[in-house]
Structure 1
Amino acid sequence: MFASLLVTVALALAGCVSAAPQKRALAQVYSKCTVPNTVALTFDDGPHVSLHAISDALSAAGGKGTFFFNGNNFGCIYDDANIERVKYAYNKGHQVASHTWGHKDLSTLSWDQIHDEMWRVEQALQRICGVQPAFMRPPFGNYNNLVREASAVRGQKIAIWDFDSGDSLGVSAQESKNRYDTVVRDHPSTILALNHETVPTTPTQVLPHAIQKLKGAGYKLVTLAECLNQQPYQWVGAPQTKDVSNLFSSLSHAPYSFETGELEVLKASSC
């Protein structure tokens, strides 16, 4: 009987070993467009005061852009002015996407912290526009396999870039213009461009120059999703109220610990 018990325990231990967690899938990472003759002009770190000017310049040129929004970076996405800006971009046909909540370096965070940064800005876009973004851009362009795994769990793809205007690096507006001149002269099949709506000279000086040069070279100005021939959103529904008092009652995916699988309030979705 004792020998039988030892066998049972051994089999149980063997079962525990064989039941080790399976490796998670990794999200696709895109750094280049795939549709020939397209340019995806993307703008990070908003919503910000420059959004209307950027949107209007693109629309006047017959083009569309992509805005990677933070929840609380240069301002709170739930502020009335920023809600209006996010809606304005979306209603004008531009793509809205996730740049995470607080612009933290995701590659330095834990599994739950990464999800917390992701879901809070996703929830804001759900409530403001009624959309679940299909694309996420990690702050600073930094990601690791944990970030890719978290993005895959959330059904999102990671978007980087293959051209940097340098506006967030402190280069002058003229240098940013020169960078656009160079890439237009090289004339790659596609361009996935990084810009920042929070840099004052980007909408007033750099963007008009870039649009003129790019269109003059025959490029079509499209959203990120269009330049990849993919859908911009996982789903589209009705916008909700900005009131966060009933935050969790309207969530299709309530916040929970992705480590334990238990429902818990990680942080309130307010600024």
Structure 2
Amino acid sequence: MFTSAFVTLAVSALAVATPVKRAPAGAIYQCTEPNTAALTFDDGPWEYIYDISGKLLEKGAKGTFFMNGNNWGCIYDEDAAARVKYAYDAGHQIASHTWTHPHLNDLSWDQVHDEMWRVESAVQKITGAVPAFMRPPYGEFNDQVLEVAEQRGQKVIVWDFDSGDSVGVSEEDSKKRYDDTVASHPDTILALNHEIYSSTAYDVLPYAIDLLQGAGYKLVTVAECLGMEPYQSTGQPSERDDSWTC
């Protein structure tokens, strides 16, 4: 006959031995370092990256580029790969925006992994660095996306300010969005822009940089505005070979 002490011991041992399923880490919508603003640019690598980078560097600022693998073009094309490497070498942060820019909530577990793995692999080949951050297309994600990202060592980044460039707002409306946000002076800003629009590169961005810096914000990468490392690892880029293809 079991004693109550024995039963208690057995139950305690079972509780210790049973693994606890942990909830995946949540998505990040805001910076944490005071007085920082992170300007981010989705959907590259595209030709405007040089102009965007130049305008940031002129003002002592850095940006974060969330890259696709095969959306507007193939990341392995020589011009596209050169853009990625240029931005990385200039000190901007390179992060993942998935391979084909799909609605991740519609995909299977394996498909989500593939979307993340393929662009991570491309960035590593081109720069030598493995991204530690990703942004889900359209800002859409579910628990499965968060779990896959966590397994892959990725922080899921969304935003708390949208310039509106991807939904066709005018340059003046985009500037007004920046005006209204800066007027309320939040402690930090995590701003969504898109690399593929000339208005972003040539008109709205210079205005936003001057406005934000004039309001006392330091323009930094997403990793810097969170006090985290931008890459899981860094190393030497790979030599171009037959695997550099979409």
TM-score, normalised with respect to structure 2: 0.90
User: 2: distance between equivalents of 1:237 and 1:161?
Assistant: 29
**What letter matches 2:168 in structure 1?**
G
Which residue of 2 is the match for residue 238 of structure 1?
A: 236
Matched, 1:108 2:83: no
Alignment check: 8 A CA contact 1:25 1:152 kept:
no
Matched, 1:270 2:245: yes
Q: 1:88 aligns with which of 74, 79, 86?
A: 86
User: 1: distance between equivalents of 2:53 and 2:198?
Assistant: 14
Matched, 1:97 2:72: no
Where in structure 1 do 4 or more consecutive aligned residues deviate above 3 Å?
Answer: 20-25
Which secondary structure state, in structure 1, belongs to the residue aligned with residue 91 of structure 2?
coil
User: 2: distance between equivalents of 1:242 and 1:24?
Assistant: 40
Which residue of 2 is the match for residue 155 of structure 1?
A: 153
Which residue of 1 is the match for residue 181 of structure 2?
A: 183
User: 1: distance between equivalents of 2:158 and 2:22?
Assistant: 21
Alignment check: 8 A CA contact 1:27 1:151 kept:
no
Which residue of 2 is the match for residue 3 of structure 1?
A: none
CA 1:59–1:158 in 2, change beyond 3 Å: closer, same or farther?
A: same
CA deviation digits over 1:87-130, x for unaligned, max 9?
A: 11000100000000000011110000000100000000010000
Which residue of 2 is the match for residue 213 of structure 1?
A: 211
Give the number of aligned pairs: 230
Correspondences of 1:193-212 after superposition (within 5 Å): 193-212=191-210
TM-score, normalised with respect to structure 1: 0.82
CA deviation digits over 1:13-49, x for unaligned, max 9?
A: xxxxxxx997465134110000000000000000001
Which secondary structure state, in structure 1, belongs to the residue aligned with residue 193 of structure 2?
strand
CA 1:22–1:111 in 2, change beyond 3 Å: closer, same or farther?
A: farther
- The percentage of aligned residue pairs carrying the same residue is 60
**What letter matches 1:208 in structure 2?**
P
User: 2: distance between equivalents of 1:85 and 1:38?
Assistant: 26
Which residue of 2 is the match for residue 249 of structure 1?
A: none
Which residue of 1 is the match for residue 6 of structure 2?
A: none
- Alignment RMSD: 1.6
CA deviation digits over 1:110-157, x for unaligned, max 9?
A: 000000100000000010000110001000000000000100110111
Structure 2: which 5+ residue stretches go unaligned? 1-17
